[in-house]
Amino acid sequence: MIPILTIAGSDCSGGAGIQADLKTFSAHGLFGMSVIVSVVAENTATVTSVETISEKVIIDQINCVFDDIYPKAVKIGMLPSIESMKAVAKKLKEYDAKNIVVDPVMYAKNGFPLMDVENIDTLIKEVIPIADLITPNIPEAEAISKMKIETVDDMKKACEKIIAMGPKAVLVKGGHHIGDAIDVLFDGKEYHTFKTKRIETKNTHGTGCTLSSAIASNLALGFDMYNSVKSAKDYVTTAIEHSLSLGSGCGPTHHFYDLYKKAGIIKE
């Protein structure tokens, strides 16, 4: 069993954050582990409060994982404070962590801020340089690159600005902001564009967490970056296509659709 780690916030409603990451890892046949950096009181419609875990407990969690079960890949999600960013970056460098995928979570699906704007400089200085891949959506890429993104060419320019900050590769996620669901991957040499069909649904809670976790899962399984992203895109598209109408807001995606279908739990 291949071990993999997520470092992120906890979503009590189960659609995003740590919960989505662990479901994604399981769907890929991996042994998921977690370091919780914040506890978020949220559901499909709203975020009520956020409690940040202390720097000491974050460090203790990372030590416990790496000293006992060394992960093949690490997904980093929500890092709500400067202290948590510095602690996570320092420890992952100390342990020479492999296949680090950073999802720079700044806002919840309903727009609730999960990172203070003034923390972006620390994200750029401490966290982005340790990433094998960073996966910002359009608003996040705009905040990091400090430029407006309105076209695919703009996405490529943002990729260039962000990769100059130190990561090995950048995936700017267009979502439905620009035409169909178009994402741009840049490794410093080549661009790859991924385009998927538009799926008309409001149930997209946790899609960013799920995509980055799926990419990390594929890297842990030994795939290269291009195929890790391509496979993850297919996985997320299926999860959205068969999303769950739960709650009064943006419902969650179906992390186990293919698995349930193969097991005969889902019949079409």
Catalogue the active-site residues.
Answer: 173, 204, 206-209
Q: Nearest-CA neighbor of 155 among 145, 167, 168, 165?
A: 145
d(CA 43, CA 96): 35
Direct distance between the N- and C-terminal alpha carbons of the chain, in angstroms, rounded to an integer: 31
Cα gap 57→73, rounded to integer Å: 21
Assign 215 to helix, strand or coil. helix
Q: Are 32 and 26 in contact (CB under 8 A)?
A: yes
Instruction: Report residue 186: phi and psi, to 5°.
Output: -135, 125
Annotate 139-156 with DSSP letters as a single string: HHHHHHHTS---SHHHHH
